[in-house]
Amino acid sequence: MTSVDSLQAALNYQFVDKTLLDQALTHRSHSAHHNERLEFLGDSVLNFVVAALLFKRFPKIDEGDLSRLRANLVKQSSLADIATRLCLSQYLRLGEGELKSGGFRRPSILADALEAVLGAVFLDGGFDAAQKVIAGQYESILVHVDPKTLGKDPKTLLQELLQARKFDLPAYTVIATHGAAHNQLFEVECQIPKLEIKVSAPGSSRRAAEQSAAELAIAAIHALAPAKGSRPARARKSTQLSLPVAVSQENK
């Protein structure tokens, strides 16, 4: 385990009581004095501070959008990304079993430990300290948040994209199913006649295949008419990387 000094520097917070930080970095597989109570506390201070940051940053969006944005910013993979940036895995105390199975790389363990560290900051330095640390970690993330799209699923995004252009909704059709009852693979086609787009994608459920097909359709639309600021070459490349995609050369 590396000294926690560099972690404190990355958090921009110095603990008065360093045993709190040690506990926050201790997984239950390591010892009984583990981080799960701190994680409970950290999860709630994090949810609140991110809510307050979003409330202030986006004064016009409604509470449904605020909830969606927050859910996306505090979901496990987002927290694991922050934990990775902080090199949190270097400081974790894991039991033998978790160490051997690579637990220090597991997103759930990283996300939980990050929450526990935030809970420890709150206990050690009070609310203002926790708020400052959380705001510091989310500063660079919030700059890139697009409240219209972040956290929306591809089908919703595609629908909104088409509605904005006054086009009809896309049509999804199951064109094939493979495999036995409990292990089926669905292939779904997404058609947008107005744009002569017809793409298909596989998925382990009809719903999943529809979402993947919608993602390809969005890529196809961007390839036809690249969004401002994005390079056409890049958009086209991403379309070609995807599976069976038929895109007409002309936009009607």
- Residues of this chain that interact with its own copies (CB under 8 A) are 36-37, 39-41, 44-45, 47-48, 51-52, 55, 62-63, 66-67, 122, 127-128, 131
**CB 227 to its own copies: min, Å:** 29
Cα within 13 Å of Cα(107), Cβ side: 8
Q: How far is CA 40 from CA 114, 120, 252, in A?
A: 11, 11, 54
Q: How far is the CB of 63 from its own copies (least distance, A)?
A: 4
Task: Tell me which DSSP letter residue 26 carries.
Answer: B
Give the span between the Cα atoms of 30 and 35, in whole angstroms: 10
Cβ neighbors of 184 (< 8 A, separation 6 or more) are: 177, 178, 204
Q: Three-class SS string for 193-246? A: HHHCEEEEEEECCHHHHHHHHHHHHHHHHHHHCCCCCCCHHHHHHHHHHCCCEE
Q: How far is the CB of 36 from its own copies (least distance, A)?
A: 4
Question: Whole-angstrom Cα distance, residue 243 to residue 229?
Answer: 25
* CB of residue 222 to its own copies, shortest distance in Å: 32
39 is in an annotated binding site: yes
CB of 201 to its own copies, least distance (A): 35
The residue (of 119 and 154) whose beta carbon lies closer to its own copies is 119
Name which of 39 and 210 has its Cβ closer to its own copies: 39
Closest CA to 238 of 250, 248, 252, 226: 226
- Residue with Cβ nearer its own copies (51 or 208): 51
Residue from 169, 161, 178 nearest 219 by CA: 161
Q: Collapsing DSSP states into helix, strand and coil, what is residue 186?
A: strand
- Contact between residue 42 and residue 118 where contact means Cβ atoms under 8 Å apart: yes
Catalytic residue positions, numbered: 43, 115
Q: Which is nearer to its own copies, 47 or 84 (CB)?
A: 47
Choice between 35 and 137, CB closer to its own copies:
35
Q: Which strands make up the sheet holding 245-247, listed edge to edge?
A: 171-178, 185-192, 197-203, 245-247
Annotated binding site for Mg(2+): 39, 112, 115
